[in-house]
């Protein structure tokens, strides 16, 4: 098994730079995690609040490496037939029907049941071979010739059983199929697991991964993210907007606005040709930032104060 061939991962600075060009503003710890993951050949478990760019990190990595991104969305009840492989039952059945006529040719010359059985045994495994295997995301990722980026999204939503069965893939990059044998990856894929901490992951899984926690960005980082994602937004407005959102995050809200909401808001303001933040403007567009009616109502009274502070700080 070999590593993905690339010079993107030659140094931590290089990663930050490449990702920046691809539109993902990476903090030092994020670049470090990717660097380590590549060189130690370990999966990365990315945790953090919703909307800070966990999934985006995997997408950007795939784009930078020019490799396919294979995504497995986890949910309760996900099992190996949907994640790993399944037999193509229909095809198997169709083939047996079609080949029924050939049966007499195969059995030609055989005398009695025992001899026929023995002849059949020599053909036994053709219906349980790779041709009849339907690869699902995990197997696809192992089969890619030049390697791939595998994203196992929201792994905390899956069941405990599924987590246990991920272990073989995450540590050895191989899967065992009873009828066929062990399938190994030629080139180890780069694996990202994301989690929102809906439940604690098992120690065994944690142990196999590099752990990266992405918090909400500080104002400097958030400004550069917005500059990269929404370049049309003027410098002044960007400062005001970031300051406003940073203040919102301090409040006691049901769902705090994340980076993705900040980007959406910035796009909205560009669309409205706004030059500067004002209380009315904020009130009209607040539903882009806050997703719960209680939050919107709670913040409503504080909007003038927050806007003023944002203008002053910017």
Partner 1 sequence: MDRTLTDFIRALRHSDVRVSTSETMDAFRAVRLVGYEEREQLKSALSMTLAKSEEEKARLGDVFDRFFRFDAFSDEPETDDDAAAGDNGEGDGQEFSPEDWDGESTELARMLLENDTEALALTLQEAAQDVNVANINFFIQRGIFTRRIMEQMGLAGLDAEIAGLSGQEGGAAQARMQALTQARERLFEQTRDFVERQIGLYASTTGRRLREDLLRNIKLTNVDLQDFRLMKELVHKMAKRLASLHSRRRKITRRGHLDVRRTLRANMPYDGVLIDPKWKVRRVERPSVYAICDVSGSVASVARFLLMFLYSLQDVLPRVRAFAFSNRLAEMTETLKNMPLEEAINKVLKEQGYGTTDYGQAFVDFKELAMEDIDHRSTVIILGDARSNFLNPRADILKEVYRRAKWVMLLNPEPRSFWDTGDSEMTALRAGCHQAEVCNTMSHLERVIDNILRMAT
Name the site residues for partner 1 (rule: CB under 8 A).
Answer: 12, 28-29, 32-33, 35-36, 39-40, 42, 45, 47, 89-90, 92-93, 159-161, 164, 199-200, 202-203, 206-213
Distance between CA atoms of residues 162 and 164, nearest Å: 5
Instruction: In angstroms, give the least distance from the CB of 241 to partner 1.
Output: 27
Instruction: In angstroms, give the least distance from the CB of 93 to partner 1.
Output: 5
Instruction: In angstroms, give the least distance from the CB of 231 to partner 1.
Output: 30
Q: Are 33 and 173 in contact (CB under 8 A)?
A: no
Distance between CA atoms of residues 186 and 194, nearest Å: 24
* Closer residue to partner 1 in complex, CB, 29/176: 29
Query: Within 13 Å of residue 74, how many CA atoms lie on the same side as its CB?
Result: 23
* Closer residue to partner 1 in complex, CB, 45/314: 45
Q: Are 22 and 64 in contact (CB under 8 A)?
A: yes
Distance between CA atoms of residues 148 and 31, nearest Å: 18
* Closer residue to partner 1 in complex, CB, 93/279: 93
Q: Are 125 and 55 in contact (CB under 8 A)?
A: no
Could you tell me which residues are beta bridge partners of residue 178?
Answer: none
Instruction: In angstroms, give the least distance from the CB of 272 to partner 1.
Output: 37
* Closer residue to partner 1 in complex, CB, 40/301: 40
Phi, psi of 162 (to 5 degrees): -65, -40
Distance between CA atoms of residues 293 and 300, nearest Å: 10
* Closer residue to partner 1 in complex, CB, 184/207: 207
The torsion angle over the Cα atoms of residues 81, 86, 89 and 94, rounded to 10 degrees, is 150
Instruction: In angstroms, give the least distance from the CB of 122 to partner 1.
Output: 21
Instruction: In angstroms, give the least distance from the CB of 208 to partner 1.
Output: 8
* Closer residue to partner 1 in complex, CB, 95/219: 95
Instruction: In angstroms, give the least distance from the CB of 162 to partner 1.
Output: 11
* Closer residue to partner 1 in complex, CB, 254/275: 254
Helical pair 54-65 and 12-21, crossing angle rounded to 10 deg: 90
């Amino acid at each position: 098994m070999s590593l993905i061939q690339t010079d993107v991962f030659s140094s931590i600075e290089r990663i930050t730079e490449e990702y920046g060009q691809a539109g993902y503003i990476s903090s030092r710890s994020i670049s470090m995690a990717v660097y380590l993951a590549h060189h130690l050949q370990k999966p990365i478990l990315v945790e953090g609040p919703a909307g800070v760019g966990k999934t985006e990190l995997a997408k950007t990595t795939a784009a930078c490496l020019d490799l396919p991104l294979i995504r497995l969305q986890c949910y309760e009840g996900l099992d190996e037939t949907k994640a790993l492989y399944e037999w193509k039952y229909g095809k198997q059945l169709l083939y047996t029907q079609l080949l029924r006529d050939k049966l007499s040719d195969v059995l030609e010359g055989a005398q009695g049941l025992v001899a026929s059985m023995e002849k059949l045994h020599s053909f036994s495994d053709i219906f349980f071979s790779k041709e009849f295997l339907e690869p699902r995301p995990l197997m696809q990722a192992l089969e890619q010739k030049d390697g791939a980026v595998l994203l196992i999204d929201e792994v905390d939503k899956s069941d405990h059983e599924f987590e246990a069965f991920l272990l073989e893939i995450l540590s050895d990059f191989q899967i065992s199929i009873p009828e066929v044998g062990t399938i190994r990856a030629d080139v180890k894929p780069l694996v990202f697991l994301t989690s929102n901490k809906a439940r604690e992951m098992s120690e065994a899984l944690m142990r196999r991964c590099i752990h990266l926690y992405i918090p909400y960005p500080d104002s400097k980082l958030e400004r550069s993210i917005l500059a990269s994602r929404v370049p049309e937004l003027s410098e002044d407005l960007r400062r005001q907007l970031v300051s406003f959102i940073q203040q919102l995050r301090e409040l006691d809200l049901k769902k705090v606005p994340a980076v993705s909401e900040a980007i959406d808001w910035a796009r909205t303001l560009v669309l409205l040709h706004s030059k500067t933040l004002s209380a009315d403007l904020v009130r009209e567009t607040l539903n882009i930032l806050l997703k719960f009616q209680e939050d919107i109502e709670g913040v409503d009274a504080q909007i003038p104060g927050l806007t003023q502070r944002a203008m002053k700080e910017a």
